[in-house]
């Protein structure tokens, strides 16, 4: 199991045992909280960019609204930032790809 798999399992278990459904939230409160989180993430991004503008690069891609909604649903369920989820997913994919590259190229030699 990869670190990403372990992390997702941890977030699901965290959600299971700290479930917001245990507390009666109204839809309006949930939406307000989601908006607040997005606003805070935006502020954090701006601060990070101001502190170290040359240290990090953006990786972005266009996607369908349905795919974006699916990503957001998973991130909301796991209570993690979309940026963190995607960074971990890409890192995991890179590790898996590098393993395959190394294994296959080793066979050629």
Per-residue pLDDT of the chain (109 residues; tens, 9 = 90+): 578 888 888 888 887 777 655 555 566 677 778 878 888 888 887 887 778 767 777 788 899 999 999 999 999 889 888 989 999 999 999 999 999 899 888 876 6
**Confidence (pTM):** 0.57
pLDDT at residue 24 in the model = 54
pLDDT at residue 96 in the model = 92
Q: Alpha helix locations (H) across 1-109? A: 3-17, 27-51, 65-78, 82-108
């Amino acid at each position: 199991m990869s670190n990403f798999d372990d992390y997702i399992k941890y977030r699901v278990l965290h959600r299971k045992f700290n479930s917001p459904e245990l507390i009666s939230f109204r839809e309006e409160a949930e939406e307000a909280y989601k908006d607040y989180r997005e606003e805070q993430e935006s502020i954090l991004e701006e601060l990070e960019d101001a502190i170290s503008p040359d240290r990090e690069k953006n990786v972005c891609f266009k996607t369908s609204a349905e795919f974006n909604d699916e990503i957001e649903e998973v991130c909301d369920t796991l209570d993690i930032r979309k940026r963190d989820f995607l960074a971990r997913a890409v890192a995991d994919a890179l590790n898996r790809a590098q393993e395959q590259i190394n294994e296959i190229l080793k066979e050629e030699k």
